[in-house]
Structure 1
Amino acid sequence: MKSSITKLQLKLKPWALAYSIFMVTLGCLVYAAGVNSFVIPNHFGNGGVAGIAIILKYIKDIPTGTTNLIINSFILLIGYRFLEKRTLIFTIYAMFVTSWALNTIFPPVFISDNRLISAMAGGVIMGIGLGLILKGHGSSAGTDIIAMILKKYLGINFATGTFLLNMSIVLASGFVIGAENTIVTIFMKFLTSAALEFVTDGFSRRKAMLIVTKEPEQVCQMITETVNRGITVFRAYGYYTHKEREVLYIVVSKPQVMKIERRIASIDPNAFVTVSDVQEVIGQGFTFYNPNNKNRRFYDE
């Protein structure tokens, strides 16, 4: 295992390694702060291994970091094969940093008369922490690895497996934290997921436009002049009209959609346009910035 880690580290550029370490470390600290400042003081539960650790903290006063380290270490020993090497390394690192932070980082507690406010703040902060860990190519291990095992051997969808495992832990904690706090915890988990999703891909989301028009050349020229995005042209056949058409495909930012739609309408009022969400875009003009490109002003629109 040591040789594999060494080979991987040699493949990583220093800036990439520093970036991952920084993001994972920051994410672990933020997550631990959310747990110790909002979750435990308000007697909420949580999902995953952290949820089990928190329940044991309530029952036996066992430090959450200690439980988190022991359970996650056991799960990693069983399921390390399900993680790519880079993710495995930073997952192990995240496990140790999170466990240390849970036992060491104790920001001022936040207890509100309205439990939902505490849950909202805690959920968002934990989601940001987990999102930063993922951005650094780490993972929270725990239930994620178990969900991968369930997918391989039982055919359960990963998202479904993760949801079932987390909800099982949250619902089981109801016997300790009570029904009301269990409901609030479920609400908090949804906010955690939303914040995590926003951190991991909220800024890179784009819109995909599929355009069927009688004036493909004019539309392509307009798009090039307006937003300077690459256009993919497909040869298509209309079943109803029995005619061949050119279908245009382009990925743009949200503000650019309305601008393009208006100009398409002025060129071809009968054009057929569909707009759909794109989870992530990787490529020139989106993730690869070329400072020498004379059209770089379009990149940030």
Structure 2
Amino acid sequence: MKKTIVVNLLLNTVGAFLYTVAINGFLISNHLGEGGVTGLMTIFYYWLKIAPSVTNIVLNGLLLLIGWKLLNKQTVFYTLYTITMISVFLKLIGSMRFPLHDPLVAALIGGALMGVAMGFIMKGEGTLAGSTILARIVNKFFGIKTGSAMLCFDLMVAIPSAVIIGFENMLLTIVELYLSAVILNKLLAQFVEKRSLTIISERFKELASALSDATKQGVTIIDGHGYVSGQKKQLLYCVCDTKDLVKLMNLITEIDPKAFVVMEEVRSTYGKDLLRIL
């Protein structure tokens, strides 16, 4: 338990640092915007010269109150830690700037860093508050991908920001938001990527025992019968990590070379000892 907390805090710290580098180093340096609270943070900085660290802690603190009853307390704790670290890093490396001749490059690098940063933070069971909290809530109740939901909320801030940062930079901001959402979805998919196997074999009991030992989880036996032959059949169904797929296929071939196997991608799993919906 303590090891898990330490690992999660480390992931959130790294994510907060990368997020700050993206904001200070590439977005603000090149007069680009963002979405959600971060977008408001950049707008207030350009317009009123309010320190981003102040906007971050105040607005995200308010949104945490909304998420308090809808998100589990562990997520709220990690989120509070993360937004605090972001404000600290914004103070410590506030002078970090990477002005580039081509703002498109800044948008691409900033978007990539933002996506990776959010992936670290969500892997560490935290959020960035802001639109991330709203996206997590939508994900929890409607099953919409977190990255996609965040993109929708972020656009609500990014598009009107054209008044402050200009139309061209607003379009580049949308490119940055899209890239960060794609990278986030890909990273979260990697964290929970699984495959399901449906197997028809005469040696189903032996296969079920071997697969259960190999995956350290249950295997379901389903009774069926062949439509053409009319014979009774037993189907095995199991879910495994993608990294274990080759090992399991070799195991199946070794036990029953004639086994019929159907493999499918699993977008998300939910239940005891399984990971959350993306």
Calculate the TM-score normalised by the size of structure 2.
0.77
Following the alignment from structure 1 to structure 2, what is the Cα–Cα distance between the partners of residues 124 and 172?
23
Task: Pick one of 17, 28, 48 that aligns with 1:29.
Answer: 17
Match of residue 244 from structure 1: 232
Aligned pairs for 1:1-301 (under 5 A) are 13-106=1-94, 108-146=96-134, 162-211=150-199, 213=200, 215-217=201-203, 221=207, 224=210, 228-229=214-215, 232-237=219-224, 240-241=227-228, 243-250=231-238, 251-253=240-242, 256-257=245-246, 260=249, 263=253, 267-268=257-258, 271=260, 273-279=262-268
One-letter amino acid of the structure 2 residue matched with residue 217 of structure 1 = R
One-letter amino acid of the structure 2 residue matched with residue 253 of structure 1 = T
Partner-residue secondary structure (3-state), 1:267: coil
How far residue 282 of structure 1 moved from its aligned partner, in angstroms, is 9.6
One-letter amino acid of the structure 2 residue matched with residue 232 of structure 1 = V
How far residue 177 of structure 1 moved from its aligned partner, in angstroms, is 2.0
One-letter amino acid of the structure 2 residue matched with residue 234 of structure 1 = I
How far residue 25 of structure 1 moved from its aligned partner, in angstroms, is 2.0
Match of residue 290 from structure 1: none
How far residue 192 of structure 1 moved from its aligned partner, in angstroms, is 1.5
Distance 1:47-1:238 versus aligned 2 partners, 3 A rule: farther
How far residue 255 of structure 1 moved from its aligned partner, in angstroms, is 7.4
- Percent of pairs identical after alignment? 25
Contact 1:204 1:281 in 2 (8 A): no
Contact 1:76 1:141 in 2 (8 A): yes
Following the alignment from structure 1 to structure 2, what is the Cα–Cα distance between the partners of residues 107 and 210?
56
Distance 1:243-1:188 versus aligned 2 partners, 3 A rule: farther
One-letter amino acid of the structure 2 residue matched with residue 136 of structure 1 = G
Contact 1:38 1:121 in 2 (8 A): yes
Partner-residue secondary structure (3-state), 1:237: strand
Equivalenced residues, count: 267
One-letter amino acid of the structure 2 residue matched with residue 275 of structure 1 = E
RMSD of Structure 2 on Structure 1 (CA): 3.8
Following the alignment from structure 1 to structure 2, what is the Cα–Cα distance between the partners of residues 183 and 238?
57
How far residue 216 of structure 1 moved from its aligned partner, in angstroms, is 3.7
Partner-residue secondary structure (3-state), 2:97: coil
How far residue 77 of structure 1 moved from its aligned partner, in angstroms, is 2.9
Residue by residue, what CA displacement relative to the aligned partner does 1:225-279 show, whole Å, maximum 9, x if unpaired?
9x94467242243584455322222325357359839949x9338x362422354
Contact 1:231 1:248 in 2 (8 A): no
Following the alignment from structure 2 to structure 1, what is the Cα–Cα distance between the partners of residues 196 and 139?
30
How far residue 66 of structure 1 moved from its aligned partner, in angstroms, is 0.9
Following the alignment from structure 1 to structure 2, what is the Cα–Cα distance between the partners of residues 204 and 156?
18
One-letter amino acid of the structure 2 residue matched with residue 208 of structure 1 = S
How far residue 220 of structure 1 moved from its aligned partner, in angstroms, is 5.7
Which range is displaced more, 106-115 or 243-252? 106-115
Distance 1:220-1:40 versus aligned 2 partners, 3 A rule: farther
How far residue 219 of structure 1 moved from its aligned partner, in angstroms, is 10
How far residue 86 of structure 1 moved from its aligned partner, in angstroms, is 1.5
Contact 1:218 1:267 in 2 (8 A): no
Give unpaired runs (5+ residues) of structure 1: 1-12, 288-301
Residue by residue, what CA displacement relative to the aligned partner does 1:51-79 show, whole Å, maximum 9, x if unpaired?
11111111112111111111112222344
One-letter amino acid of the structure 1 residue matched with residue 117 of structure 2 = G
Partner-residue secondary structure (3-state), 2:159: helix
Give unpaired runs (5+ residues) of structure 2: none
Partner-residue secondary structure (3-state), 2:85: helix
